């Protein structure tokens, strides 16, 4: 009985941390980048198509999209538009890829 109480206490503690700290982020290597590429949004661009230029097959494109939103202070309802400048975090292992695509 004591082990079950301890497990529930741990679960409750972890859940309260997630609920209390709304700024909690799972590990996202793009949020710790020191290198950025400034891009000019073109007609037809989306965060997905822009991010696809900067990720490799080993990366999750959703991590870069989330980082772009955070770095540029975009929320889920924000539209990007042609001529807009966006700051793209580029992980050190993807710098070569970014240079080749621009």
Q: Determine the Cα–Cα distance for residues 4 and 58; give it in Å rounded to an integer.
A: 39
Tokens of 12: 């409750």
pLDDT in tens, the chain (102 residues): 566 678 787 877 777 666 654 444 457 777 777 788 999 999 999 999 999 999 888 888 998 999 999 999 998 888 999 999 999 998 766 555 554 555
Q: Which domains does the chain have, with CATH numbers?
A: 29-101 (3.10.350.10)
Q: Determine the Cα–Cα distance for residues 38 and 12; give it in Å rounded to an integer.
A: 43
How would you classify the pairing of strands 85-89 and 36-40? Answer: antiparallel
pTM over 0.75: no
């Amino acid at each position: 009985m004591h082990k079950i109480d301890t497990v529930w206490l741990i679960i409750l503690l972890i859940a309260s941390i997630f609920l209390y700290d709304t700024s909690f982020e799972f590990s996202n290597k793009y949020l710790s980048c020191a290198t950025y590429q400034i891009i000019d949004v073109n007609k037809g661009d989306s965060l997905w198509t822009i991010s696809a230029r900067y990720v490799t097959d080993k990366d999750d494109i959703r991590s870069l999209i989330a980082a772009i939103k955070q770095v540029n202070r975009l929320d889920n309802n924000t539209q990007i538009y042609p001529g807009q400048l966006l700051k793209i975090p580029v992980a050190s292992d993807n710098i070569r890829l970014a240079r080749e695509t621009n």
